Structure 1
Amino acid sequence: MPAKDLNWGFITNQRIQQLKSQVRAKEERIVELETENAVLHLKLAEYHGIIERSNSKAMQLCCLYNQQQDLRRNTYSNLTQIYQVVQKFKQDLKDFQSFSYLLIRNFQHQYQDYLSQIVDAVQGTQLENETLQSFQARAIDLEQSLQEISERYQVEKQKRKTLHNNLVELRGNIRVHCRIRPLLPFDTESRDPALQNRSISLSEKVIHATDDETVLVRCSRPGHPLLNKTFQFERVYSPLESQKIVFGDVCPLLTSLLDGYNVCIMTYGQTGSGKSYTMLGPHSENDPISPSEAEQEMGIIPRAAGELFRLLSENPTIDPRVEVSIVEIYNNELFDLLAKDSSGIFGVKRDVITTKEGKSNVPMLTYELVESPYEFMKIINKSLQLRVKHPTLVHADSSRSHLVVTVTLTISVPFDSFTDQQAIQKLCKETLCSTPQKVMKSEKACFSPRGLSPAPIPLDPTEQHKQVQTKLQLVDLAGSECIGMSGVTGTILRETSFINRSLAALADVLGALSEHRGHIPYRNSKLTHLLQDSIGGDAKLLVMLCVSPCQKYLAETLQSLGFASRARQVQRVQAKRRNLLVSGKSK
Structure 2
Amino acid sequence: MFISSEKEQKLLPAVDAKLSLTPFSTRSNLDYQGDALPVSESQDSISTPTIYTDVSVVPEHEKNELEQSIVTIEGEIVRLRKKERSLDKKRRDALNKILDTKGSIRVFCRLRPLISSVKRRNDEPISVWEENIEVKYLGSRKDFRFDKVFRQAATQDDIFEEVEPVIRSALDGHNVCILAYGQTATGKTFTMDGTNDQPGITPRALEALVHQASLEKSCAFTFSMSMLEVYMGNLRDLLGPKAPYRSQESLARSNLNIQTDPKGLVEIEGLKEVHFSDLSKAKWWYAKERSSIHFVDKLICISSLMRITISRSGNDLKAKSEVSKMWMVDLGGSERLLKTGATGQTLEEGRAINLSLSALGDVIAALRRKRGHVPYRNSKLTQILKDSLGDSSKVLMLVHISPSEEDTGETFCSLNFANRARAVETNRELPEDINKQRQKQIREIAQDMRDAEEECQKVRQQTQEAEILLSKMKQLFSAAYELHGNREKTPRSPSANESIPILTSSLPRFMTSTVASRQRQSAAEKKLSSVQFSGSQSFCFSDSRLKTILQDYNKRPQETVVKSPKCSSLEANKAPFLRSRMVTSSDSNLRVALNRHSHRRRMSDLI
TM-score (norm 1): 0.51
Decide whether the 8 Å contact of 2:313 with 2:319 is kept in 1.
Answer: yes
> Which residue identity is paired with 1:388?
H
Contact 2:105-2:368 within 8 A present in 1 as well: no
Mapping of residues 269-288 of structure 1, within 5 Å: 269-282=182-195
1:182-581 equivalence runs, <5 A: 182-185=113-116, 205-210=124-129, 212-219=130-137, 224-225=138-139, 227-282=140-195, 294-295=196-197, 297-340=198-241, 348-392=254-298, 398-415=299-316, 463-514=317-368, 516-569=370-423
Contact 2:266–2:384 (8 Å) recurs in 1: yes
Cα distance between partner residues in 2 of 1:239 and 1:351: 41
Measure how far apart 1:166 and its partner are. 5.2
1:394-450 residue CA offsets vs partner (Å, 9 max, x unmatched): xxxx432111111011122113xxxxxxxxxxxxxxxxxxxxxxxxxxxxxxxxxxx
Measure the CA separation in 2 of the matches of 1:550 and 1:342.
38
Q: Is the 8 A contact 2:170 2:176 kept in 1?
A: yes
What letter matches 1:276 in structure 2? Answer: T
Aligned residue identity for 1:237: F
Q: Give the CA deviation at 1:186.
A: 6.5
Alpha-carbon distance between aligned partners in 1 of 2:368 and 2:213, rounded to the nearest angstrom: 37
Distance (Å, rounded) in 2 between the aligned partners of 1:309 and 1:364: 26
Q: Letter of the aligned partner of 1:338 in structure 2?
A: L
Confirm or deny: 8 A CA contact 1:168 1:175 kept in the other structure.
no
Report the equivalent of 2:464.
none
Q: Is the 8 A contact 1:174 1:570 kept in 2?
A: no
Opposite residue 259 of structure 2, the aligned amino acid is: I
Aligned partners of 2:302 and 2:332 also within 8 Å: yes
Deviation at 1:170, TM superposition (A): 4.9
> Aligned partners of 2:101, 2:337: CA distance in 1, in Å?
40
CA contact (8 A) 2:365 2:423 kept: no
Bigger Rg over Cα: 1
Give the direction of change, closer, same or farther, for the CA distance of 1:517–1:258 in structure 2 (3 Å limit). Answer: closer
Shift of 1:365: 1.9
Percent identical: 34
Say whether the 8 Å CA contact 1:180–1:546 is kept in structure 2: yes
Tell me the distance in 2 between the aligned counterparts of 1:467 and 1:570. Answer: 38
Structure 1 contact 208–549 (Cα < 8 Å) conserved? no
Residues 90-142 of structure 1 show CA distances to partners (whole Å, capped at 9, x for unaligned) of xxxxxxxxxxxxxxxxxxxxxxxxxxxxxxxxxxxxxxxxxxxxxxxxxxxxx
- Which structure 2 segments of 5+ residues have no match? 1-93, 426-607
**CA gap 1:262/1:377 in 2 versus in 1, 3 angstroms:** same
Counterpart amino acid of 1:176? V
Question: What displacement does 1:514 show?
Answer: 4.6
Task: Determine the C-alpha separation between the residues in 1 that align with 2:255 and 2:283.
Answer: 23
In the alignment, is the contact (CA less than 8 A) between 1:179 and 1:239 conserved in 2?
yes
- One-letter code aligned to 2:277: E
Partner SS for 1:499: helix
Query: What residue in structure 2 maps to residue 177 of structure 1?
Result: 108
TM normalised by structure 2 equals 0.50
Secondary structure, aligned partner of 2:240: strand
Give 1:566 deviation, angstroms: 2.1
SS in 1 for 2:255: strand
Distance across 2 between alignment mates of 1:304 and 1:487: 38
Alpha carbon RMSD of aligned pairs, Å? 3.0
CA deviation digits over 1:513-540, x for unaligned, max 9?
4555443221111011111122233211
Aligned length: 327
Q: Given that residues 510 and 570 in structure 1 are in contact (C-alpha distance below 8 angstroms), is that contact kept between their aligned partners in structure 2?
A: no
Change in Cα spacing, 1:166 to 1:559, as seen in structure 2 (3 Å) is farther
